């Protein structure tokens, strides 16, 4: 049924060029565990970022044959390492846009953040490519509403990388069915509302780079380890509850509740990795040192700063824009020595992808 909703047998027409910029996102309630065609085991909720972005241009030109065909440049250079992922992604998309197989795609992509910064680029990369493809498809369906357009982009992005479903719009996105959000779906992410409490406007996310290397556990393996995990059922239930609580905190501007849920989610994600089979410890000594310093600084300054973590060693430090000067001082004096080569990236919540 869902296939019908997203299937459009578009006619083949001429060439088309487009370019989209899509942001990274940071999950506050984490997606960890999937089934079927990249469907989540629990709902997740994220802040869309604004500075860490992928820009992708695609030139579609008609070709003969029925196979997926593309060339790919990253930072203006050929990058054969990326080919299998792009190939797989396009193959996943074709059933929902069969006319794609009648085109050659010249794809050129770059990130605003260094490739080796430990920041996952798959969400912004898959979202930017999905948007280019849906933009092309829209030329054959001019009646599509903005909502239908974004929904299909999120749906396709999800097939490439689950969290990419949330890199389409903003400032908050919810992916996965939740009783807290009308219209939420496992198939695509939604923008639930835009009128969150003003304290979350321009909310800051400074990414403290503890380890520039790629993740030691791929997220595909991580999701797989949730199958048969001893705490799986409790975890999925916890995520459902946390989405409800976080919605309340974001609406009311309840920073204490926001901090409690956000940090609890980050530590739960790592606890799940530490207790799966095989086990993984992805935090490093500097990750823990940063967390301890955040807790001491919060207690002593009474400023509402908190952290979240991805499936890696880097720390995302979250805080209101109004406290920026004091927090940046704290970062420079106390946290920077724990960052690899003193590296950190100043990002903030944003409104999503754009055509350029
Ligand atoms: O999108 P994936 O398959 O790389 O999974 C992302 C998983 C986390 O980043 C750990 C959590 C999340 O919800 O983004």
Tens digits of residue pLDDT in 56-104: 999 999 998 888 999 999 999 998 888 999 999 999 999 998 889 999 9
C-alpha torsion 36→42→43→47, nearest 10:
-100
Token digits of residue 264: 């609890």
Residue 30 CA: nearest ligand 1 atom is 13
How remote is the CA of residue 296 from the centroid of ligand 1, in Å?
29
Q: Whose CA is nearest to atom 4 of ligand 1?
A: 219
Between the CA of 82 and the centroid of ligand 1 the distance, in Å, is 19
Nearest CA to 284 out of 210, 207, 208, 209 is that of 210
Ligand 1 atom closest to the CA of 164, numbered from 1:
1
- Number of helices followed by number of strands (H, E) in the chain: 9, 14
Q: State the Cα angle at 28 between 51 and 47, rounded to 5°.
A: 35
Amino acid 1: pLDDT = 47
**How far is ligand 1, taken at its centre, from the CA of residue 15, in Å?**
35
Looking at 3.10.310.30, 3.20.20.20, 3.30.230.10, 1.10.760.10, the CATH number of the domain 3-197 comes to: 3.30.230.10
Which residue ranges have their beta carbon within 6 Å of ligand 1? 27, 30-32, 44, 122, 161-163, 219, 269, 310-311
Look at the domain 202-348 and name its fold.
Alpha-Beta Plaits (3.30.70)
Tell me if the bond preceding 171 is cis, omega within 30° of 0: yes
CA gap 207, 308 in Å, rounded: 10
Q: Is the peptide bond before 328 cis (omega within 30 degrees of 0)?
A: no
CA–centroid distance, 140 to ligand 1, in Å, is 33
Q: Among the atoms of ligand 1, which is closest to the Cα of residue 123? A: 1
Q: How far is the CA of 176 from the centre of ligand 1 (A)?
A: 13
- DSSP run (H or E) holding 223: helix 219-224
pLDDT of residue 2: 61
Q: How far is the CA of 202 from the centre of ligand 1 (A)?
A: 23
Positions of the chain with pLDDT under 70: 1-12, 116-118, 214-215
Alpha helices in 214-355 (DSSP H): 219-224, 232-252, 255-274, 285-301, 324-330
Model pLDDT, residue 203: 98
Q: Where are the domains of the chain?
A: 3-197, 202-348
Sequential DSSP letters for 167-188: SSB-SEEEES--TTSTT--SSS
The rounded distance, in Å, linking the Cα atoms of 255 and 306 is 10
């Amino acid at each position: 049924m869902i296939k019908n909703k997203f299937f459009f047998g578009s006619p083949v027409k001429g060439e088309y060029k487009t370019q989209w910029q899509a942001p990274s996102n940071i999950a506050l309630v984490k997606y960890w565990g999937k089934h079927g065609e990249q469907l989540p085991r629990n709902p997740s909720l994220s802040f869309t970022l604004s500075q860490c972005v992928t820009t992708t241009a695609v030139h579609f030109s008609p070709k003969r044959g029925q196979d997926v065909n593309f060339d790919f440049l990253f930072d203006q250079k050929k990058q054969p390492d990326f080919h299998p992922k792009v190939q797989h992604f396009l193959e996943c998309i074709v059933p929902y846009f069969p006319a794609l197989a009648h085109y050659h795609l010249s794809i050129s992509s770059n990130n605003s953040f260094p490739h080796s910064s430990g920041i996952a680029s798959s969400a912004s990369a898959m979202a930017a490519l999905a948007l280019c493809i849906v933009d092309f498809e829209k030329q054959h369906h001019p009646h599509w509403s903005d909502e239908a357009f974004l929904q299909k982009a999120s749906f396709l992005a999800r097939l490439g990388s689950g969290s990419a479903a949330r890199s389409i719009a903003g400032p908050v996105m919810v992916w996965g069915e939740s009783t807290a959000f009308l219209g939420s779906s496992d198939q695509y992410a939604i923008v639930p509302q835009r009128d969150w409490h003003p304290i979350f406007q321009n909310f800051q996310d400074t990414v403290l780079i503890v380890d520039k290397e790629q993740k030691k556990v791929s997220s595909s393996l991580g999701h797989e380890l949730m199958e048969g995990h001893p705490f799986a059922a409790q975890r999925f239930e916890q995520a459902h509850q946390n989405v409800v609580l976080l919605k309340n905190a974001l609406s009311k501007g309840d920073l204490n509740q926001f901090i409690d849920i956000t940090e609890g989610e980050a530590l739960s994600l790592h606890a799940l990795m530490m207790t799966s089979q095989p086990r993984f410890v992805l935090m490093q000594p500097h990750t823990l040192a940063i967390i301890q310093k955040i807790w001491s600084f919060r207690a002593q300054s009474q400023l509402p700063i908190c952290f979240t973590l991805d499936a890696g060693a880097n720390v995302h430090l979250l805080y209101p824009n109004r406290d920026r000067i004091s927090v940046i001082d704290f970062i420079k004096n106390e946290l920077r020595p724990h960052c690899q080569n003193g590296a950190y990236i100043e990002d903030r919540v944003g409104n999503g992808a754009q055509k350029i």
